[in-house]
Amino acid sequence: MLINFSSLPKSSRIWIYQANRELTTADIKMMEKNAAEFCENWSAHGHDLQTSFKILHNMFLVLAVNEDAALPSGCSIDASVHFVKELGTSLGIDFFNRTHVAFLLNDEIYVEALQVLKNKIGSGTISSSTPMINTTVKDVREFETKWIIPAGESWIKRYF
């Protein structure tokens, strides 16, 4: 059952998928249609799940489940991964490439490959205070407070 993202309890579980390229208007329109349809029908062991989604910064797909209403099962989580993979295939997007990190520079998303991250930090392009997109948040509460954090407070802090 699709519900408004703002109606989700703070404890609702989320998954964030980062696209390997900026989404076009046509991509977003298709994603919104397909994600709404998927969320409307997403279930676990015959029980409807209260679900929602967001597309942010023309790069991120956020899926959410209200675990207070019904817990997602392993099979239902697998179904969501399958949905995202199919969506990516149909759009020519890789949502599962974990070798790039996204930052917010001058109100724009800036994506950097892990292999050159140390160089960008060394050159000052990225500092410990640079806002970083934190795709590791687990629930709506963390999403609201830790979705964008200073890079020095993230898992890349070891590079500073």
Q: What is the per-residue pLDDT across 85-114, written as a single tens digit (0 to 9) for each? A: 999 999 999 999 999 999 998 889 999 999
Across all residues in the chain, what is the average pLDDT?
94
| CA-angle at 110, arms to 29 and 87, nearest 5° | 30
pLDDT of residue 152: 96
Based on the fold, state whether residues 79 and 134 are members of the same structural domain: no
For residue 126, pLDDT over 90 is answered with yes
For residue 34, pLDDT over 90 is answered with yes
Based on the fold, state whether residues 86 and 115 are members of the same structural domain: no
Predicted TM-score (pTM) of the model is 0.92
Q: If you average pLDDT over residues 15-24, what whole number do you get?
A: 96
Which of 67, 91, 115 is the endpoint of a domain? 91
Based on the fold, state whether residues 69 and 129 are members of the same structural domain: no
For residue 73, pLDDT over 90 is answered with no
What 3-state DSSP class applies to 126? coil
Based on the fold, state whether residues 70 and 123 are members of the same structural domain: no
For residue 70, pLDDT over 90 is answered with no
pLDDT of residue 71: 78
Based on the fold, state whether residues 56 and 29 are members of the same structural domain: yes
Q: Which is nearest to 94 in space by CA: 77, 117, 111, 115?
A: 111
d(CA 62, CA 85): 14
pLDDT of residue 48: 87
Based on the fold, state whether residues 37 and 87 are members of the same structural domain: yes
Provide the phi-psi class of 23: left if phi over 0, else alpha when psi is between -120 and 50, else beta.
beta
Sequence-distant (6+) residues with CB within 8 A of 32 are 55
**Contact, 117 vs 124, CB < 8 A?**
no
Based on the fold, state whether residues 142 and 81 are members of the same structural domain: no
Based on the fold, state whether residues 34 and 85 are members of the same structural domain: yes
Q: If you average pLDDT over residues 70-85, what whole number do you get?
A: 89
d(CA 21, CA 13): 25
Which of 91, 124, 141 is the endpoint of a domain? 91
- Domain around 128: 100-159
Which of 34, 68, 91 is the endpoint of a domain? 91
Based on the fold, state whether residues 21 and 82 are members of the same structural domain: yes
Q: How many domains does the chain have?
A: 2
For residue 26, pLDDT over 90 is answered with yes
**Contact, 97 vs 20, CB < 8 A?**
yes
Based on the fold, state whether residues 77 and 10 are members of the same structural domain: yes
